[in-house]
Chain A
């Protein structure tokens, strides 16, 4: 069986990936795409949260953009309007968003069945309207500008080059943490819930509690991404956090492979590049293309493009090893 060569990624592949990631913002490499790469990092953080929730635990959220936006707006309002230190604003946003997710998740997960999708759908719509209508705080549909940069001591993250390393530092830490969670007792409990709730409960897993916790974690990830977003752009408006944004996050997660942590980078990058470089030309028709991608991936490669490519790579390696073993 070729599955015997399947296994952990080689350290070599990891080192190569890190080297590429490190080199991206330099002018001799992909410097002109630094801003794009920053957005990919931010999207990856939101996406990996959804992967944990949807891919591993089997709970569908159609409102991740709401938590994303909540993080963005809390950070923006605290740091601009109330002059709070941006780091403290970011922390406050994450805690508040997490608490908010807990308050919503707790009653929903007491119920059996998948009510989360509907509840988060509604939540996304409500928050989007609030972002638009509470103009005295949020600046309304025009948004608010002049949000300060993050800084450490006297070192401000005031160039895209610097922010690239900030965002990707966050992103890789979150991916690593998520990977650790997946490969643990907690991760098995989450996957068990996806596999069979009755069986999970029979082996002592507190199904409702684990669902709430992973939902809160995914909301906190989204909030952190939102904060990074506003301290990068220095501007926030409601539009990036509308319903379509939630759908796009789902598409990113699906393309990367729902039950794949590192696939999140791949999914975020594919969709981000596609939307920034190609879909712009389609104007509002881009919604159709997202829908089409979602359909095609679910029908033909339900495990995700990234996971499929990885399998092909492993299969080729196996074939190569087999060939070499032959006399």
Chain B
């Protein structure tokens, strides 16, 4: 068990009568890059939402480092070391790029209203550390020169990098990237791929949902395939490419026809 960082057992989520995620069992290996793929509506983002606590689970459970997360509210999961990015980026538009990353340091600092109001020494000490770390993560994604730019003034590719920097600033053990490559050109995708490798090398486990197959094949050490809320295959990229059920799911054929 030691090398499994995240596990789901019989994880299910229903919306009305519809099973968006249906009895999914996963074991995500530590310090690896795992890709979750599947056609639209397969339940990939719902799975992310269950892991990060945006939706409560209908049945089953999520275990992070052996501890059940079912009763852990979403905001506390960041402190435990789970962070995510969003398909639609969701940067804080009322802040500069640097402030966005500073906000990411929230779970790694603790001073509150009172310390802030009268600027107690604790607030200054923490603020210095926050500033230092935020600059580090912003530079890591290559956006150091845009520190003072409003986050939403950046082009989409850089916004996505900024969102990753913000997530890294929470100093996670596990990062979930929801379609990080969507909307990027080939060059930006190469940079992204390089960045994700560096994140993995920092000792952060990566799970990504992605539609761009060349990107997935270049990155993922393990691929999990979802279709209509169920896990239909799991393995290395080359194994998955040959899997008949996966091909059927993507091409929309009935299994009998294969």
B25 part of interface (Cβ distance < 8 Å) = no
- Interface contact A203-B102, CB-CB below 8 Å: no
Which secondary structure characterizes the binding site on chain A? helix
A147 part of interface (Cβ distance < 8 Å) = no
- Interface contact B93-A199, CB-CB below 8 Å: no
Q: What separation, in Å, do the CA atoms of A189 and B111 have in the docked complex?
A: 12
**Which one, B61-69, B71-79, B200-208, is touching chain A?**
B71-79
List the count of A-B residue pairs having beta carbons below 8 Å apart: 103
- Interface contact B102-A188, CB-CB below 8 Å: yes
Q: What separation, in Å, do the CA atoms of A295 and B130 have in the docked complex?
A: 40
Q: What separation, in Å, do the CA atoms of A202 and B54 have in the docked complex?
A: 9
Chain A residues with CB below 8 A from B116, complex form: 180-181, 184-187
Chain B residues with CB below 8 A from A132, complex form: none
With both chains docked as a complex, state the minimum distance between the C-beta of A85 and any C-beta of chain B, in angstroms: 25
A80 part of interface (Cβ distance < 8 Å) = no
- Interface contact A185-B111, CB-CB below 8 Å: yes
- Interface contact A184-B78, CB-CB below 8 Å: no
- Interface contact B75-A206, CB-CB below 8 Å: yes
Partner of B166, one of A191, A203, A259: A203
A46 part of interface (Cβ distance < 8 Å) = no
Chain B residues with CB below 8 A from A201, complex form: 54, 74-75
A288 part of interface (Cβ distance < 8 Å) = no
With both chains docked as a complex, state the minimum distance between the C-beta of B99 and any C-beta of chain A, in angstroms: 6
Q: How many residues of A contact B (CB 8 A)?
A: 27
A204 part of interface (Cβ distance < 8 Å) = yes
Chain B residues with CB below 8 A from A181, complex form: 113, 116-117
Nearest B residue (CB) for A186: B116
Partner of A192, one of B52, B83, B103, B127: B103
With both chains docked as a complex, state the minimum distance between the C-beta of B237 and any C-beta of chain A, in angstroms: 28
**Which one, B84-92, B185-193, B246-254, is touching chain A?**
B84-92
Nearest B residue (CB) for A3: B148
Mind listing 27 A-B residue pairs with CB under 8 Å? A177-B117, A180-B116, A180-B119, A184-B111, A185-B123, A185-B127, A186-B111, A188-B95, A192-B92, A192-B103, A194-B92, A195-B91, A195-B95, A196-B91, A196-B92, A198-B86, A198-B90, A199-B90, A202-B167, A203-B103, A203-B106, A203-B107, A204-B75, A204-B77, A204-B78, A205-B75, A206-B75
